[in-house]
Amino acid sequence: MVKSDNITWHQSQVSKAERQALNHHKSVVLWFTGLSGSGKSTIAKAVEKALFDQQVGSYVLDGDNMRFGLNKNLGFSAEDREENIRRIGEVAKLFVDAGVITLTAFISPYRADRDKVRANLEVDEFIEVFVDTPLEVL
């Protein structure tokens, strides 16, 4: 629900395309999803490091870290989980606008929540990665 009225979007003088050109790479979201313990954080951090080492600006938004700050008023009810993912999606969108390859590591089990994040980005900016670890390995 939007609680503020009389708000105006201020357009930057620098476009996303110009930021990407400056960085010499595209900016996208790599959205890792999968069960707890499947390896989302481990893989996301490894990819972040590999990209950084190739001079690609990258950043991981990780589950618990976000709950220390931005999302510290959220719990684990269905409603709060949905709001958690919505906020992460908005932050990821800002990072993409800033020209960064953004990796997220949240269980994010609900397709509807992930699809809302996808719909909030341009086509090809949201790349979903399902970390499909077998239960016996978990």
Ligand X SMILES: Nc1ncnc2c1ncn2[C@@H]1O[C@H](COP(=O)(O)OP(=O)(O)OP(=O)(O)O)[C@@H](O)[C@H]1O
Q: Which residues bind ligand X (CB under 6 A)?
A: 34, 36-42, 63, 105, 107
Contacted by 42, from ligand X, Mg ion, none: CB < 5 to 8 Å by type: ligand X
Q: What strands, in cross-sheet order, belong to the sheet with 101-105?
A: 58-62, 101-105, 29-33, 126-130
108 included as an active-site residue: yes
Comparing C-alpha atoms, which of 126, 36, 38 is closest to residue 81?
Answer: 36
Q: Which of 37/122 has CB closer to ligand X?
A: 37
Q: Which of 99/106 has CB closer to Mg ion?
A: 106
Q: Is residue 124 left, alpha or beta, with left meaning phi > 0 and alpha meaning psi from -120 to 50?
A: left
Segment contacting Mg ion by CB under 5 A, of 2-10, 16-24, 55-63, 67-75: 55-63
Q: Confirm if 113 and 86 have CB atoms less than 8 A apart.
A: yes
Which residues form the interface with Mg ion (CB under 5 A)?
A: 41, 63, 105
Return the active site residues: 108
